[in-house]
Amino acid sequence: MSEQKRAAVILAAGKGTRMKSERAKVLHPLAGQPLAAYPARLARALGCDPSVLVVGHQAAEVEQALGGEGLHFALQQEQLGTGHALLCAADALRGFSGDLLLLCGDVPLIRRETLERLLAYHAAEGAAVTVLTAEMVDPKGYGRIVRDGAEVLRIVEEKDASQKEKLIREINTGLYVFEAPFVFEALRGVGRDNAQNEYYLTDVVAAARVAGKKVRALSVADPAEAMGINDRVQLAEAGRILRTRINQAHMLAGVSLVDPACTYIDAGVEIGAETLIHPNVHLRGATRVGPGCEIEPGAVISDSVLGAGVHVKAGTVMSEARIGDACALGPMAHLRPGTVLKGRNKLGNFVETKKATFDEKAQASHLTYIGDAEVGKNVNIGCGTITCNYDGVNKYQTIIEDDVFVGSDTQFVAPVRIGRGSLIGAGSTITKDVPAGALALSRAEQKTIEGWAERKRAKQKKS
Ligand code: UD1
Ligand code: CA
C-alpha cells in the first residue's frame, strides 16, 4: 500500500458497565443513530480505507446494526484494555503503512473539521503519535496530559494519577493519529502494570518517546466535541448538544423552528426551506420533509417522505408513508406503513390508514379505517367508513375507483371493487362489487309507526 494512505480503527468492544444496560453501549441511540455510527461515518467521510470497528461485547448485534456503514470488523474476545483493543485490529491492517486515525465508539460529537485539523497537524509535524486533547472544566474520569512545555511526556489515567496530576485540566479525548505500522510494534511492548490491570493505549505515548519518535498534542477548541459517553446522564447531555447542532443547521438553511429546545429531529432528516415546525415535533429516521410545510405540535413522523406544502396537524403520527404535495393531515391522524397519498389529499381526525394508496384529491375527513386499499381520484369517504380487510387469517384488497362518493358509516367487506363514479348509501355493508355509475345500498328499509311514542307515554301515565 502507498505511503499517503489513511485508515481508521474505531474502538467499540467495551460493555459500558456504567450504562447499566443489557445493550452494548455503542448501540444506544443518539438522535436516532447508534453511538458508533457517528465515528464510523466520519471515518468514511475522511476517506479512511479500511475502517475497522473493534467489536467484543455483543459483537453480533453491533456488526448487524452497523453492517451498512462499509466497515471491517475485528473481534476482541476479552476486553483487556484500549491498547489490547487496537492490537486486535492489527491483522485487518496487515501491510498498511500510513496515518492511522483512532476513534472511539463512545465519542460521537467530534466534528469532521477537527479530525481534518488533527490529521494535517500530525502530517505537518512528522509525528508518530498525535493525540487530540481538550481543556475540561471538570476533567474527572479522563486521562490527563502530562507535558513538559510543548512536549507530551505521557498520559496518566485518573485511577493512576497523583493528586498533583489530577489537577491537570488538559485531558485525553481518546482520539489520535498514529503512524502505522509503528504503533503496533510499540503496543506489543506495553504491559498492564496499572490500577486497572489493563493494556492502556495511552502508554504508546511514552513508548514512542523511548523509541525517539515525535509525540504531539492538538487541543480541540470546543470541549463539548470531546465528550465521551459513559452513562445515561452523558448520553442525554450529548443528545441535547447534537440536537442544538442539528436544529441550528436547519434554521440557518431556512427552516423555522418555533422552539428549537423542544424540537426533536434525527441526524440525517432533510427539511425544505420555509417549512414551519412547532414545538414537540419528532422527525425520525429517514424522513424527508418538503418545502413550505407546516408541522403542528405533537406530530411524530418516522421514515416518511412529505412533498411541498403539506400541513400536518397536531398529534398526527405517521411511519413509512409517502405524502404528495399540498396534503392536509390530522389532527390526530394515524398513517401507518405503506400509506401513499398522491397529492392534495385530506385525511382528518381519527383517520387510520395502512398499505393504502389515495389518488389525487381523494379524502377521508373523519373517523375512518382504510387498510389494504386503492382509492381513486376525487373519492370522498364519509365519516365512520371502514375497510373490513381481515378475516382473521388473510388480508384482502378494497378498490375504490375514481369519483366514488362513499356515504357515512359504510363497511367494505374485502375483497371488493367499487366502480368509477358510483355512490354508496350511508350505513351500508358492501360485500359485493359495485359497477360504475351505480347506487349501492344495503340496509333494511325504515319503518315508521305514527303516534306510537305518544300512545306509549299515555299508557305509562295511567298505570
Ligand atoms: C479512555 C482513555 C482516557 C481518555 C478517555 C476518553 C485509555 C487507557 N484511556 O478512557 O485516557 O481520557 O478514553 O474518553 O485508553 N474499549 C475496547 N476494548 C477494551 C476497552 C475499551 O474496545 O478492552 C473501547 C470502549 O468500547 C470505548 C473505548 O474503547 O469505546 C474507550 O474505552 P473506555 O473504557 O470508555 O475508556 P475510558 O476509561 O473512558
Ligand atoms: Ca470512555
Q: What percent of the chain has pLDDT over 90?
A: 97
pLDDT for the residue 348:
98
pTM, two decimal places: 0.92
Domains of the chain with CATH codes: 6-226 (3.90.550.10), 249-440 (2.160.10.10)
pLDDT for the residue 137:
92
Residue 105, pLDDT > 60, answer yes
pLDDT for the residue 149:
81
Instruction: Please give the backbone phi and psi of residue 11, each rounded to the nearest 5 degrees, phi first.
Output: -85, 125
pLDDT for the residue 148:
87
CA distances from 309 to 117, 292, 353, 374 (A): 41, 5, 21, 23
Cα distance between residue 445 and residue 402, in whole Å: 29
* Neighbouring residues of the ion ligand 2, judged by CB less than 5 Å: 228
Beta strand pairing call for 423-424 and 405-406 = parallel
Q: What is the CA(51)–ligand 1 centre distance, in A?
A: 18
Task: Give the three-state DSSP class for 452.
Answer: helix
Nearest to 355 by CA among 326, 379, 386, 389: 389
403 among the known binding-site residues?
Answer: no
pLDDT tens for 175-234 read: 999 999 999 999 999 999 999 999 999 999 999 999 999 999 999 999 999 999 999 999
pLDDT tens for 375-403 read: 999 999 999 999 999 999 999 999 999 99
17 among the known binding-site residues?
Answer: no
pLDDT for the residue 4:
60
Determine the atom of ligand 1 nearest the C-alpha atom of 203: 8
Q: What is the CA(174)–ligand 1 centre distance, in A?
A: 7
Mean pLDDT of the chain: 96
Residues 6 or more apart in contact with residue 109 via CB below 8 angstroms: 38, 224, 225, 226, 227, 238, 241, 242
Residues with CB under 6 A from ligand 1: 11-14, 54, 56, 76, 79-82, 84-85, 104-107, 142-143, 155, 157, 171-174, 200-202, 228, 230
Q: Which residues pair with 307 in a beta bridge?
A: none
Query: Residue 24 region, left (φ>0) first, then alpha (ψ -120 to 50), else beta?
Result: beta
Q: Which of 9, 77, 82, 201 to mutate to test the pocket of ligand 1 (most atoms within 8 A of CB)?
A: 82
Determine the atom of ligand 1 nearest the C-alpha atom of 84: 23
12 among the known binding-site residues?
Answer: yes
pLDDT tens for 68-82 read: 999 999 999 999 999
| DSSP H or E run through 41 | helix 37-45
Across the range 120-149, mean pLDDT stands at 94
Work out the angle at residue 408's Cα, subtended by the Cα atoms of residues 407 and 412, and round it to the nearest 5 degrees.
Answer: 75
pLDDT tens for 436-453 read: 999 999 999 999 999 999
Catalytic, 334? Answer no
pLDDT for the residue 385:
98
6 among the known binding-site residues?
Answer: no
| DSSP H or E run through 87 | helix 82-87
- CB 410, CB 430: distance < 8 Å: yes
Residue 2, pLDDT > 50, answer no
Count CB-CB contacts under 10 A for residue 415: 14
Write the DSSP string, 377-396.
TT-EE-TT-EEE-B-SS-B-
pLDDT for the residue 242:
98
Across the range 331-359, mean pLDDT stands at 98
